[in-house]
Amino acid sequence: MIDIPNELSGYYSAKTQPEIVEIGEHTYLSILGSGSPGTNIFYQKKKAILEFIIQLQDQFKGTQKSFKNDIVEIFYWFDDKEGFVDIGNFYTTVDLDLLHYRIVVLIPDFVTEDDIKTTAAKSNDISFATEFKRFTYTAGKSVQLMHLGPLAGELETLPILQDFATENSLVKSGMHHEIHLIHFERGQSQQHLKTILRDPVKSIQ
């Protein structure tokens, strides 16, 4: 069995102090959404992806392509028309109702769009089953750190990451990325969480 968190341990690790990393291309099971990450539908989609990934993994159970992963990640961004939103004040610059997000779980490259469609056809009991898609993304050069504690504490942690980027003549160049190493559901965002905060960056010209 391919144990993704174990085999990609570097991808799922970060220091509590900011650092620069290089993130290559990865493939994900994903579902899109928009609005504040605190809404009912956000948590419904977060729950659904964990149910769906179990069914997707079952397709390959007992074969050489058997794999497992249940770590939920989320990419966040605003439309360009909202203006540039930097790392440090990502959640406080623009109305969160205008936020877009993609909830994902990393999967092996060999999983195809047809595999996902096959799972969806057999998963009528899973909410949003037909909305799950294959998504491939390369973050490239990024800054990251490990946030420990409630989600609300990110408002203090992200400026630290911002200062580090600025000190290294780097500027945000893509989607804000969060990897939730400790799963949480609605009403649990104040517990002690372990979250990698990661942002792609480019050098200031």
pLDDT, one tens digit per residue, over 35-92 is 999 899 999 999 999 999 999 999 999 999 999 999 999 999 999 999 899 999 999 9
User: In percent, how much of the chain has pLDDT > 90?
Assistant: 87
| Structure-token pair, residue 17 | 């102090």
- Torsion angle defined by CA atoms of residues 166, 172, 177 and 179, in that order, rounded to the nearest 10 degrees: -20
Residue 113, CA distances (Å) to 41, 42, 116 in order: 24, 23, 5
Among 30-44, 96-110, 147-161, 174-188, name the one with the lowest average pLDDT: 174-188
- Give the residue carrying structure tokens 């341990």: 9
Whether the predicted pLDDT of 183 surpasses 90:
no
Q: Is the dihedral of CA 41, 43, 44, 45 positive or negative?
A: positive
- Determine the residue type at 32: L
Contact 99, 35 (CB under 8 A): yes
- Taking alpha carbons only, the member of 21, 7, 17 closest to residue 141 is 21
Report how far residue 197's alpha carbon sits from residue 158's, in angstroms, rounded to the nearest whole number: 8
Does residue 170 register a pLDDT over 60?
yes
Q: Is 169 left (phi over 0), alpha (psi -120 to 50) or beta?
A: left
Residue 200 confidence (pLDDT) above 70: yes
Whether residue 152 is predicted with pLDDT greater than 90 in this model: the reply is: no
Q: Is the pLDDT of residue 189 over 60?
A: no
Helix (H) or strand (E) holding 146, with range, is strand 133-148
Helices (H), 60-175: 113-121, 154-167
Indicate the average pLDDT of the chain: 94
Q: How far is CA 21 from the centre of its chain?
A: 16
Angle between helices 113-121 and 40-59 (to 10 degrees): 100
Rounded to whole angstroms, the Cα distance separating 5 from 65 reads: 15
